[in-house]
Amino acid sequence: MTRQEVIEYLEKSGYKPYPVAKSDYGFQVWNGSKRCPKGTPECDTNEDKVSWHVKVSDWCIPNDPYHRDFKSVEIEIVGGTNGLWFKLTAYSINFDDLKKKLFHAEISLLDAWISVSRTKEERMRLK
């Protein structure tokens, strides 16, 4: 998939872009977000909103003797719960694998968020 095809696929999957940003290396990246489903445990400090955030990177290192291109997608959930901040991430998803892996990444991150959002009492009941 090309960068544009990846972006179009993410937008069709419900991701809304936010302004184009530059990476730490000065290369453009595409950022988007999509709200998690209703019933997702809320963030303690982010207006109760929990979303998946996605970053599409497509860049190469100038003068790289190996002429490598770095093309990947990163998906994360960031939020505060039970007095801690979490950054849960699935990263280095190859452009060509995105269609096969997007749903699994989203669900896995959602499961992880639900797990860390449990209160101490809820965790004790699971033992």
- Per-residue pLDDT tens for 47-88? 767 889 998 887 766 777 776 677 889 999 988 888 889 999
What is this structure's pTM? 0.82
Confidence band, pLDDT 50/70/90 cuts, at residue 99:
very high
HEC string of the chain equals CCHHHHHHHHHHCCCEEEEEEECCCCCEEEEEEEECCCCCCCCCCCCCCCEEEEEEEEEECCCCCCCCEEEEEEEEEEEEECCEEEEEEEEEEEHHHHHHHHHHHHHHHHHHHHHHHCCHHHHHHHC
- Per-residue pLDDT tens for 4-59? 999 999 999 999 998 766 666 666 788 999 999 988 888 888 776 788 999 888 77
Domain ranges of the chain: 3-117
